[in-house]
């Protein structure tokens, strides 16, 4: 990757990619997303285009003045005199022939944007096989005219139309431009149709823009349209009134709350399916409103009434749709204040007086210096300290992200500042200045120590959430605010000088740090954290018991896999699959306790309030289990998620272990990981510059603010732990071991590609927009995650065989519950082709049970004996004692409870049982299932 690409295009490509994938997610179509991307691009580069045309206009204007004089000079003089006169003429007009290419500077500025889109579209694997409208495969040339590609022809025709309809071009220009258009035809003839489609759209937009600016302004219907838009803006003027906005906000908020409450109760979701098109229509409406805003802006060359209207409506709508309602609400409140201040006459006299009190020059200086200071502190100073401390952050990507980030931090607010009215400028300048002061105070003075950073994780992360921080923040905030306000109003120049001093010091410090970075010996690549920590242990000689709990694995998908992908199961030598296994409860906390500690702490037995918390009841039982194991000289390892409160002696698999392996995985897999140090550096800069109590929002339980795609990240965490399972396992010749290891790769959300069985940033099965939407009774994304899990655990089994620790290990692969997409069980309950998971049969009973006894080998067997997940305890006991497991009688009743136990949300002493089912006989027979009252069972 060249430096040019890394610094200029790569960050933009990432932005493009995220916009594109977001649009694809929202619209559910890769084709529509291309249209959205094209609109976004046109919108984003519009200011640049304006810059270019301004530069060209300036050049043109100058040439109009210079050319007659040059002509005269050429007529009147020759040789040295002519050259001297021309030089004097150029000097008078402060011109140099090199400025003739200033129009090209704008183009050069556009190139990175355009190339980013080009690379993004080119590099998108997801487009393979995706059809859209008349295009069969977006990743291939279209070949629509009997093998001849239609899109390049259409594109060229549109280009030529643009050339010949542009009033700016004449004679020679047209010939040149046509030649360039034909050149592109040749160059792009066999490019992927997605690229051409996108490119053609861009050209159509620019053609439309050209027509709009030139010819159409004189056209009658166009004038009528413009007038209509202007009238429309006037009609909406009433919405500018603050009281109406407040009412709208309240309605929006109320609607949001109601919808939020309904949606939060996930079980009602299926009844809300009809709402989905409505929600999407709402989004489309907002989009159309924004388009109208854009048009009115372009036409009237100013932010019109419509802008405020659209902001008001869309904020209320976004609120109502329940999407990021908190952010929308804050935006709305801020917007209200600004509107009240900006639009009502009430403040105008004060505003006028303020305007004369604050000279433009001082305000502009304050705003620009403050923004520069903020950008420097967040994206230059703090990251430089980080890079000095750890050379692994020094990379071109880090610099690229920091440079682009600081440009954004500086330019965008400054442009907004620059284009607003004086009253607003006063507020913005104060705001920027406050931000800068906060950044200075917190970065340089109120410094906190959170321990060392290891793999982006703080050693003492718990210090981030200390409650007393808010008092420090309040005090600091009060001091900063009052000092800034007093200075701002009384002595603006002193405030300006203060910021200048801070800026100078920061620049010097940055210079010092980057100087040291430059002078430092070539940065040593990070020492690959040499030996990964061994979190699990198995004995090569003594018996081991290894329980791998795969959250949400739907048991009978093993049967589907045996048919469709038998090679995934070849490593499972000596295993027996028990398809008729029933989970005790529909969620982890209703199922896992009885798996570890036995049937008598199943959820349906514990629901009597005896003043003892569930945590304690289950904890006591697991403690007993652990001490029993210890008494038989078994070492114990509980590598479980930290959301499981009742195993008191455990190793958290999340946090440090996840992150360590996720970082390791990302370091190994190419592509995505490259920009992570840059993202982290930027996030860390922001973290250090923010008040203490806000920092928990920037560093959220090991995740950094800018790190984006949570589905992918979460998936990578669990995936990478499975990939490195063998690395983190120590095999020795010590005593026996018991290991409970849980993994959530099979738990939603899922992001595993079917082809590679590796994490991907896009929807692995885009045909189903919803996470739980099914195809033929199965959630494809879930199934792919299960396939990846089976494959990776299989690799680990091979590793055990290689290390001679296979035969002496009793292995169980079990799931706490299924994910609601069991095809046979759906059929049992009369739903041959259900649309959504979880709704077709009671609860999520279809658990996985794959068992390998000591010294078992041979192909995977299937045993139809009815089992329950709570039988695991008995199996474990038998294995510990070295005796065979005695299957319970086939006619014993089994139970499955639905409901939940959310700590904090529900009572601590009881489960919220919604239904209880008694299963007498095979679970795939409808007549085996009988609903019984939730309190009808008492502890045996």
DSSP 809-862: EEEEEE-SS--S--HHHHHHTT-SS-SBTTSSSSS--B--EEEE-TT--SSPEE
- Sole binder of other proteins in the list 1, 180, 244, 247 (CB under 8 A): 180
Residue 170 interacts with other proteins (CB under 8 A)?
A: no
Q: What is the 3-state secondary structure (H, E, C) of 684-748?
A: HHHHHHCCHHHHHHHEECCEECCCCCHHHHHHHHHHHHHHCCCCCEEEECCCCEEEEEEECCCCC
Residue 97 interacts with other proteins (CB under 8 A)?
A: yes
Residue 100 interacts with other proteins (CB under 8 A)?
A: yes
Q: Which two tokens stand for residue 797?
A: 């089994």
- Sole binder of other proteins in the list 43, 93, 260, 330 (CB under 8 A): 93
Kindly provide the residue ranges of all beta strands, DSSP E only, lying in 526-620, ordered along the sequence.
536-539, 544-550, 575-577, 581-582
Choose between 188 and 778: whose C-beta lies nearer to other proteins: 188
Q: Which two tokens stand for residue 912?
A: 């919220």
Q: Which two tokens stand for residue 570?
A: 């070849």
Choose between 176 and 633: whose C-beta lies nearer to other proteins: 176
Residue 421 interacts with other proteins (CB under 8 A)?
A: no
Choose between 175 and 247: whose C-beta lies nearer to other proteins: 175
Residue 181 interacts with other proteins (CB under 8 A)?
A: yes
* CB 80, min distance to other proteins, A: 5
Q: Which of 453, 253, 422 is nearest to 336 (CA)?
A: 253
- Distance, CA of 97 to CA of 87 (rounded, Å): 10
Which residue is it, tokens 């973290």? 687
Q: Are the CB atoms for 593 and 817 separated by under 8 Å?
A: no
Size of the site for other proteins (CB under 8 A): 61
Kindly provide the residue ranges of all beta strands, DSSP E only, lying in 403-554, ordered along the sequence.
453-454, 457-458, 536-539, 544-550
* CB 391, min distance to other proteins, A: 28
Residue 604 interacts with other proteins (CB under 8 A)?
A: no
Helices and strands in the chain, H and E counts: 31, 19
- Distance, CA of 665 to CA of 679 (rounded, Å): 17
Q: Which of 655, 595, 653 is nearest to 867 (CA)?
A: 595
- Angstrom CA distances, 868 to 599, 787, 900, stand at 9, 23, 19
* Binding range to other proteins, per CB under 8 A, among 54-62, 450-458, 757-765, 879-887: 54-62
Residue 208 interacts with other proteins (CB under 8 A)?
A: no
* CB 161, min distance to other proteins, A: 10
Choose between 138 and 860: whose C-beta lies nearer to other proteins: 138
At 793 the three-state DSSP class reads helix
* Binding range to other proteins, per CB under 8 A, among 2-10, 405-413, 570-578, 687-695: 2-10
Q: Give the rounded distance of the alpha carbon of 514 from its chain centre.
A: 31
- Sole binder of other proteins in the list 169, 286, 472, 509 (CB under 8 A): 169
- Sole binder of other proteins in the list 10, 16, 199, 605 (CB under 8 A): 199
- Sole binder of other proteins in the list 51, 115, 279, 878 (CB under 8 A): 115
Residue 111 interacts with other proteins (CB under 8 A)?
A: yes
- Sole binder of other proteins in the list 84, 224, 412, 474 (CB under 8 A): 84
Q: Are the CB atoms for 687 and 698 separated by under 8 Å?
A: yes
Q: Which two tokens stand for residue 509?
A: 């410090």
* Binding range to other proteins, per CB under 8 A, among 108-116, 437-445, 502-510, 822-830: 108-116
Q: Are the CB atoms for 298 and 290 separated by under 8 Å?
A: no
* CB 254, min distance to other proteins, A: 47
Residue 185 interacts with other proteins (CB under 8 A)?
A: no
Residue 812 interacts with other proteins (CB under 8 A)?
A: no
Residue 98 interacts with other proteins (CB under 8 A)?
A: yes
Residue 215 interacts with other proteins (CB under 8 A)?
A: no
* CB 9, min distance to other proteins, A: 8
Residue 200 interacts with other proteins (CB under 8 A)?
A: no
Choose between 117 and 239: whose C-beta lies nearer to other proteins: 117
- Distance, CA of 165 to CA of 933 (rounded, Å): 78
* CB 63, min distance to other proteins, A: 11
- Sole binder of other proteins in the list 18, 140, 206, 613 (CB under 8 A): 206
- Provide φ and ψ at 637, rounded to 5°: -130, 125
* CB 569, min distance to other proteins, A: 46
Q: Give the rounded distance of the alpha carbon of 210 from its chain centre.
A: 36
- Sole binder of other proteins in the list 70, 177, 323, 340 (CB under 8 A): 177
Choose between 106 and 598: whose C-beta lies nearer to other proteins: 106
Residue 227 interacts with other proteins (CB under 8 A)?
A: no
Choose between 64 and 145: whose C-beta lies nearer to other proteins: 64
Residue 452 interacts with other proteins (CB under 8 A)?
A: no
- Sole binder of other proteins in the list 57, 78, 125, 173 (CB under 8 A): 173
* CB 175, min distance to other proteins, A: 10
- Sole binder of other proteins in the list 61, 125, 459, 462 (CB under 8 A): 61
* CB 464, min distance to other proteins, A: 43
- Sole binder of other proteins in the list 183, 258, 298, 333 (CB under 8 A): 183
* Binding range to other proteins, per CB under 8 A, among 58-66, 295-303, 513-521, 565-573: 58-66
* Binding range to other proteins, per CB under 8 A, among 32-40, 113-121, 698-706, 758-766: 113-121
* DSSP character at residue 649: S
* CB 96, min distance to other proteins, A: 5
* CB 545, min distance to other proteins, A: 58
Choose between 61 and 600: whose C-beta lies nearer to other proteins: 61
Residue 69 interacts with other proteins (CB under 8 A)?
A: yes
DSSP 11-27: HHHHHHHHHHHHHHHHH
- Distance, CA of 87 to CA of 98 (rounded, Å): 13
Choose between 201 and 860: whose C-beta lies nearer to other proteins: 201
CB count within 10 Å of CB 45 equals 19
Q: Residues for the chain: how many in total?
A: 940
* DSSP character at residue 129: T
DSSP 329-356: HHHHHHHHHHHHHHH-GGGHHHHHHHHH
* CB 36, min distance to other proteins, A: 19
* CB 673, min distance to other proteins, A: 25
Scan residues 311-370 and list those touching other proteins (CB under 8 A).
356, 359-361
- Sole binder of other proteins in the list 50, 57, 60, 65 (CB under 8 A): 65
* DSSP character at residue 585: B
Q: Which of 658, 69, 688, 130 is nearest to 438 (CA)?
A: 688
Scan residues 123-162 and list those touching other proteins (CB under 8 A).
159, 162
- Distance, CA of 378 to CA of 754 (rounded, Å): 40
Q: Are the CB atoms for 791 and 757 separated by under 8 Å?
A: yes
Element containing residue 932 per DSSP (H, E): strand 929-932
Residue 184 interacts with other proteins (CB under 8 A)?
A: yes
* CB 149, min distance to other proteins, A: 15
Q: CB-side exposure of 364: number of CA atoms within 13 Å? A: 8
Q: Which residues have C-beta within 8 Å of that of residue 418, sequence separation ≥ 6?
A: 364
CB count within 10 Å of CB 683 equals 20
Residues that bind other proteins (CB under 8 A): 2, 4-5, 9, 52, 56, 61-62, 65, 69, 80, 83-85, 87-89, 91-94, 96-98, 100-101, 103-108, 110-111, 114-115, 117-118, 159, 162-163, 166, 169, 173, 176-178, 180-181, 183-184, 187-188, 199, 202-203, 206, 356, 359-361
């Amino acid at each position: 990757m060249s430096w040019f690409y890394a610094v200029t295009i790569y960050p933009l490509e990432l932005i493009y990619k995220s916009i594109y994938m977001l649009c694809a997610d929202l619209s559910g179509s890769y084709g529509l997303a291309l249209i959205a991307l094209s609109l976004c691009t046109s919108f984003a580069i519009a200011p640049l285009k304006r810059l270019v045309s301004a530069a060209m206009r300036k050049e043109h204007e100058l040439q109009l003045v210079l050319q007659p004089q040059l002509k005269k000079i050429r007529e009147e003089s020759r040789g040295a005199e002519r050259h001297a006169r021309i030089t004097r003429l150029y000097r008078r007009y402060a011109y140099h022939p090199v400025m003739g290419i200033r129009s090209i500077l704008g183009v050069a500025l556009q190139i990175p944007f355009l190339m980013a889109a080009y690379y993004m579209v080119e590099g998108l694997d997801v487009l393979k096989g995706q059809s859209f409208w008349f295009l069969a495969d977006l990743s291939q040339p279209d070949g629509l005219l009997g093998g001849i590609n239609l899109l390049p022809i259409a594109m060229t025709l549109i280009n030529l139309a643009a050339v010949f309809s542009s009033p700016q071009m004449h004679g020679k220009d047209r010939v040149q431009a046509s030649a360039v258009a034909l050149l592109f035809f040749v160059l792009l003839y066999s490019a992927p149709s997605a690229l051409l489609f996108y490119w053609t759209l861009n050209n159509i937009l620019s053609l439309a823009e050209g027509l709009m600016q030139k010819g159409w302004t004189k056209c009658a219907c166009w004038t009528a349209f413009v007038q209509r838009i202007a009238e429309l803006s006037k009609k909406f003027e009433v919405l500018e009134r603050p009281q109406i906005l407040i009412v709208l906000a309240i309605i929006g908020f109320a609607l949001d709350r109601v919808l939020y409450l309904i949606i939060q109760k996930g079980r009602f979701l299926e009844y809300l399916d009809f709402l989905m098109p409505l929600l999407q229509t709402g989004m489309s409406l907002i989009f159309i409103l924004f388009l109208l805003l854009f048009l009115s802006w372009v036409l009237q060359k100013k932010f019109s009434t419509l802008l405020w209207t659209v902001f008001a409506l869309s904020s209320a709508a976004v609120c109502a749709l329940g999407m990021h309602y908190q952010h929308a609400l804050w935006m709305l409140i801020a917007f209200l204040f600004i509107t009240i201040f900006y639009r009502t006459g009430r403040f105008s006299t004060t505003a006028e007086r303020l305007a004369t009190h604050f000279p433009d020059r001082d305000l502009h200086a304050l705003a620009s210096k403050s923004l520069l200071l903020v950008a420097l502190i967040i994206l230059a100073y703090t990251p430089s300290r980080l890079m000095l401390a750890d050379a692994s952050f020094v990379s071109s990507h880090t610099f690229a992200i920091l440079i682009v980030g600081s440009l954004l931090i500086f330019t965008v607010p400054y442009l907004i500042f620059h284009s607003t009215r004086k009253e607003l400028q006063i507020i913005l300048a104060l705001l920027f200045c406050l931000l800068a002061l906060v950044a200075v105070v917190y970065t340089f003075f109120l410094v906190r120590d959170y321990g060392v950073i290891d793999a982006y994780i703080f050693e003492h992360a718990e210090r981030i959430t200390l409650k007393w921080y808010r008092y420090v923040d309040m005090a600091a905030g009060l001091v900063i605010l009052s000092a800034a306000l007093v200075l701002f109003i009384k002595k603006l120049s002193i405030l300006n000088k203060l910021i200048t001093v801070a800026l100078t010091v920061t620049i010097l410090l940055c210079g010092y740090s980057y100087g040291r970075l430059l002078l430092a010996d070539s940065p040593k690549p990070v020492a690959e954290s040499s030996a990964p920590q061994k979190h699990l242990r198995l004995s090569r000689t003594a018996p081991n018991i290894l329980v791998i709990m795969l959250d949400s694995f739907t048991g009978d998908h093993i049967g589907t896999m045996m048919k469709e992908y038998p090679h995934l199961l070849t490593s499972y030598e000596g295993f027996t699959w028990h398809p008729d296994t029933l989970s005790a409860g529909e969620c982890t906390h209703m199922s896992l306790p009885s798996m570890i500690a036995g049937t008598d702490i199943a959820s349906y037995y514990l629901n009597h309030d005896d003043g003892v918390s569930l945590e304690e009841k289950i904890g006591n039982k697991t403690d007993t289990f652990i001490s029993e194991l210890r008494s038989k000289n078994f070492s114990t390892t509980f590598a479980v998620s930290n959301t499981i409160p009742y195993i008191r002696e455990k190793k958290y698999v999340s946090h440090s272990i996840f992150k360590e392996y996720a970082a390791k995985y990302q370091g190994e897999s190419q592509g995505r990981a490259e920009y992570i140090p840059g993202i982290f550096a930027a996030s860390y800069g922001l973290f250090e510059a923010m008040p203490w109590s806000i920092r928990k929002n920037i560093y959220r339980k090991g995740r950094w603010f800018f790190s984006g795609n949570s589905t992918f990240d979460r998936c990578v965490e669990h995936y990478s732990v499975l990939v490195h399972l063998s690395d983190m396992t120590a095999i020795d010749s010590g005593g026996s071991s018991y290991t409970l290891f849980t993994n959530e790769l099979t738990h939603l959300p899922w992001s595993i590609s079917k082809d590679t069985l590796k994490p991907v940033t896009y929807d692995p099965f885009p045909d189903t927009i919803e996470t739980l939407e099914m195809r033929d009774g199965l959630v494809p994304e879930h199934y792919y995650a299960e396939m990846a899990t089976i494959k990776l655990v299989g690799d680990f089994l091979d590793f055990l065989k290689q290390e001679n620790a296979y035969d002496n290990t009793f292995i169980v692969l079990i799931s706490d519950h299924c994910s609601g997409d069991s095809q046979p069980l759906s059929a049992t309950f009369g739903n041959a082709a259900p649309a959504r998971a979880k709704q077709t049969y009671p609860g999520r009973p279809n658990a996985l049970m794959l068992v390998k006894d000591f010294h078992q080998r041979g192909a995977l067997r299937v045993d139809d004996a009815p089992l329950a997940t709570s039988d695991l305890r008995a199996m474990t006991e038998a294995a510990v004692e070295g005796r065979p497991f005695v299957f319970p009688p086939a006619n014993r009743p089994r139970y499955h409870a639905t409901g939940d136990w959310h700590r904090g949300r529900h009572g601590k002493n009881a489960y919220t049982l919604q239904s209880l089912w008694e299963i007498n006989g095979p679970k795939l027979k409808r007549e085996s299932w009988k609903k019984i009252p939730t309190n009808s069972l008492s502890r045996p």
